[in-house]
Structure 1
Amino acid sequence: MNIRLTVNGRPHTIDVDPRMSLLDLLRERLGLIGSKKGCDHGQCGACTVLVEGRRANSCLALAVAMDGRSVTTVEGLADGERLHPLQAAFIEHDAFQCGYCTPGQLCSAAGMLGEPGPSAVTENLMDDPELTPAEIRERMSGNLCRCGAYVNIVSAISEVAR
């Protein structure tokens, strides 16, 4: 199938197998290897990208479903040489160790910062709560870090959220 999509601000027209995942399209066909294939089951978040500004596990999304849509990967977060505020905060707070999950963590955090409303830990469901460490941990719970850098990841996100 022939699809058109925008990836990191660049338009692409590409033939894809209807069974191809967005992750495989990004890595194998477009050469964008920032998004990682961790579990390939949507459980670890290493493949998280932004589709129309919302978080998505690219290992579960079909490439054909991206026809006409805009996708942002970790490679598209920075503005040229200027790092995205989250990228700078992750460096400043030492919010990574091996770095395998970092691209997914960054994309997930970027999407999360734009998502209003309560989460499972919000006391009053009618509130649009402040992003406390508990809120951040809950909202980022779909992104796993085998190295256990969670404390620094939450600190980095908290700084940017302020």
Structure 2
Amino acid sequence: MQILVDADACPVVVKDMLYRAAQRAEVNVTLVANQFLRTPPSRFIKSVQVPSGFDAADNRIVEMATEGDLVITADIPLAAAALDKGAQVLDPRGTWFSRENIQERLTMREVMDQLRASGIDTGGPAPFSPQDGKTFAGQLDRFLARHVRKPGSEA
């Protein structure tokens, strides 16, 4: 099991939580972005820089994802593709994407895109809040407790 992060738009506070979790749980965390990312020195943390281009990072994450991995993204089409690969998907605000809710989210995204294309200001997501960070941290901790066995622990 590995954690793959759609890092271009991922809040710094979430990346910091993932760095600490990688060390604590001894799980590999890979950040994928269109730009160079500085990461702490760790055998559990790495970054992958992809060429600039539409969905280049998303496509790389989907290529790397396998069943049982955790993907961190707010990108709904990427979440759908990762779910299709058998990964679990958590957004940086701590909300899970699932087979049960992904179609509704894809449909809502399409509706919002159509509204914006017709000139309607739909606003945007609310700023990332401290509560979002707490929710993400709680969901990440619960996931790791269920899915990661540290070396030497009993099965």
TM-based fold match above 0.5:
no
Using the size of structure 2 for normalisation, the TM-score is 0.29
Using the size of structure 1 for normalisation, the TM-score is 0.28
Higher-helix-fraction structure: 2
